[in-house]
């Protein structure tokens, strides 16, 4: 089964999925989409010159504008980083980095290596999965209140797409 997973990872990295603006390079681990607009928050692997993830800041997090200025990259504000889109490194053991997003303290993720490629592992529907994207549905008219969050990825064991929705309290 692990061999199947490694083959699937290679196919995904070579597929067209990684050639649009949500996956502009091989360092993109996942991204966040929101119902508010089409802009996305990108989570790319932050490595040193040898390709090893930075232990203190393993992710580079930024916006890609897909509306007013398509393709323009923007940095997170301090409030966005602290309350929503930032992350905390919980540990690094044997090259596996454990993190959690600041907005979802109860969902731990790991950054792991598969050959030359890194991926973000998370549990989706109680299955070990590779995270591809997170979708945040906000309540109207107040886009600061979250209605629900969807996780998208694929099951590491079976190689099938998986999703999970959880209501936001």
pLDDT score recorded for residue 75: 92
Three-state secondary structure call for residue 123: strand
Distance CA 41, CA 51 (A): 22
From first to last of its 169 residues, the chain has per-residue pLDDT tens of 554 455 455 544 444 433 445 555 678 999 999 888 888 999 999 998 888 999 899 999 999 887 776 777 889 999 999 988 999 999 999 889 999 998 777 889 999 999 889 999 999 999 999 999 999 998 877 767 888 999 999 999 999 999 999 887 6
pTM: 0.83
Determine the pLDDT at residue 158.
92
Distance CA 147, CA 129 (A): 24
Nearest to residue 2, comparing CAs of 115, 151, 122? 115
The CA distance from 43 to 60, in Å, is: 6
pLDDT at 102: 86
Helix (H, G, I), strand (E, B) or coil at 150: strand
Determine how β-strand 146-155 pairs with β-strand 161-167.
antiparallel
Taking alpha carbons only, the member of 78, 75, 108 closest to residue 91 is 108
> 137: Cβ–Cβ under 8 A, 6 or more apart, which residues?
34, 35, 146, 147, 148, 149, 150
CA distance 113 to 47: 13
Sequence-separated (6 or more) residues with CB below 8 Å from residue 128: 121, 155, 156, 157
Strand partners, 42: 31, 62
pLDDT for res 18: 37
User: Residue 89: its pLDDT value, please?
Assistant: 96
């Amino acid at each position: 089964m692990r061999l199947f997973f490694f083959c699937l990872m290679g196919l995904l990295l070579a597929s067209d999925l990684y050639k649009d603006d949500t996956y502009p390079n091989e360092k993109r681990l996942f991204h966040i989409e929101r119902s508010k607009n089409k802009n996305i928050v990108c989570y790319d692997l932050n490595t040193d010159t040898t390709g090893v993830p930075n232990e203190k800041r393993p992710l580079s997090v930024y916006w890609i504008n897909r509306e007013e200025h398509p393709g323009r990259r923007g940095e997170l504000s301090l409030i966005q980083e602290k309350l929503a889109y930032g992350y905390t490194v919980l540990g690094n053991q044997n090259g596996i980095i454990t993190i959690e997003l600041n907005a979802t303290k109860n969902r731990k993720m790991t950054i792991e290596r598969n050959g030359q490629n890194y991926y973000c592992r998370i549990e989706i529907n109680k299955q070990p999965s590779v995270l591809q994207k997170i979708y945040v549905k906000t309540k109207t008219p107040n886009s600061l209140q979250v209605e629900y969050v969807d996780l998208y990825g694929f099951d590491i064991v079976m190689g099938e797409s998986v999703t999970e929705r959880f209501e936001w309290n």
